[in-house]
Structure 1
Amino acid sequence: METAQHQDQTAPGASAAFARYVLCGGGVGLTAGFAVAALASWIPWALANALVSVVSTLLATELHARFTFGAGGRATWRQHAQSAGSAAAAYVVTCAAMFALQQLVASPGAVLEQVVYLSASALAGVARFAVLRLVVFARNRSRAAAPLGTARPVHTSVARASLPADPATLCRAA
């Protein structure tokens, strides 16, 4: 009971969640940008981006579960999987941006590459915020946001619960 009350108090509103998202995601994103640049000097850029994307997504999902969206604990495997989907889309966006840069500029410098990469990451990050808030962590937020003792609509779940699971159960009951 205390945990539920604690979650109710820590579930942030949209603007507070976005500020926390920018802090956590931005910090991880900036670190990832430098990590990609460093790794790309040893391995192909796309592979470096893929490796850094996996590690940074795992780290950011944990931070978002614990801090950004007030879930109150570690991220579940389901949340990691859902977050990975949005990260895959962000990976495509950053790869496309870097590919476009390579097509438009023969030998871009490191600063231009960082500007393009971080700009693409920021654009993808805004979209990821919406997905994480509305899909990945929505269940935790909606449960935590309702005050204790608040009546919740039951809808059809009661009707389904009263029906037998299969026809064989119906036959045994008769």
Structure 2
Amino acid sequence: METAQSRQQAAPSAFTAFTRFVFCGGGVGLASSFAVAALASWLPWAFANALVTVVSTLLATELHARFTFGAGGRATWRQHAQSAGSAAAAYAVTCVAMLVLHQLVAAPGAVLEQVVYLSASALAGIARFVVLRLVVFARNRSQAAATVSTARPVQAVVARASATTDPAVLCCAA
């Protein structure tokens, strides 16, 4: 049976990961912008945005785990929770941007709303990429923790070996 570590691929470079992030996250974000616009004709805009944000975050997190950051499998619950935190911040940014737009322009058209929404989403997306790469899908943190917890200090092995003179014990001490 294949373990999670054996499925794990090599981490892509920052440029490759960002390109994949833009492709996956941007594709989901673009589809989301149309979904929000469609739902906003039936529901209040903030509720439509919240609903679409939840669904798109789940989808994007799975895509990022499998493809963008090369985690080698499905996203864990921890990764979904951390991703949801960054998505909540992105949701707040898009809501504030739209509220500001509606304060500045009495009746903005659909094109202007899309431009403002997508611009706010792009800015939030850049910050989200950094959080996902350095925190949510970071590899060094878990590997470093495993290495630290299993490593034996060299001084202890040397001190124990030098404290005895029996050759049989010296052979087996290390």
Scaled by the length of structure 1, the TM-score of the pair is 0.79
Partner AA of 2:148 in structure 1:
V
1:7 paired residue number = 8
CA spacing shift, 1:155–1:141, aligned 2, 3 Å: closer
The residue aligned with 2:169 is none
Larger Rg computed on CA atoms = 2
Following superposition of structure 1 onto structure 2, how do residues 93-132 of structure 1 map, counting pairs within 5 Å?
93-132=93-132
For residues 27-60 of structure 1, the C-alpha deviation after alignment (integer angstroms, 9 at most, x for no partner) is 0000000000000000000000000000000000
Amino acid at match of 2:84: A
Across the aligned residues of Structure 1 and Structure 2, the Cα RMSD in angstroms comes to 2.5
Say whether 1:23 aligns with 2:17.
no
The residue aligned with 1:89 is: 89
List alignment gaps of at least 5 residues for structure 1. 147-151, 160-174
- What residue number does 1:63 align with? 63
Aligned-partner Cα distance in 2 for 1:6–1:93: 36
Offset from partner CA, 1:70-95 (integer Å, 9 cap, x none)? 00000001100000000000000000
Matching residue's letter, 2:41: S
What fraction of aligned residue pairs are identical, expressed as a percent?
77
State whether residues 69 and 141 of structure 1, in contact with CA within 8 Å, keep that contact through their aligned partners in structure 2: no
How many residues end up aligned between the 2 structures?
151
* 4+ runs deviating over 2 angstroms: 1-9, 139-143, 152-159
Aligned-partner Cα distance in 1 for 2:58–2:64: 10
Shift of 1:139: 3.0
Conserved 8 A contact 1:70-1:141 = no
Residue 77 to residue 56, structure 1, CA distance change in 2 (3 Å): same
Q: What is the TM-score normalised by the length of structure 2? A: 0.79
- Distance in structure 2 (CA, Å) of the matches to 1:8 and 1:156: 23
Unaligned runs of 5+ in 2: 154-174
**How far apart, in 2, do the equivalents of 1:137 and 1:19 lie?**
16
Corresponding residue SS for 2:108: coil
Counterpart Cα distance in 2 of 1:80 and 1:126: 18
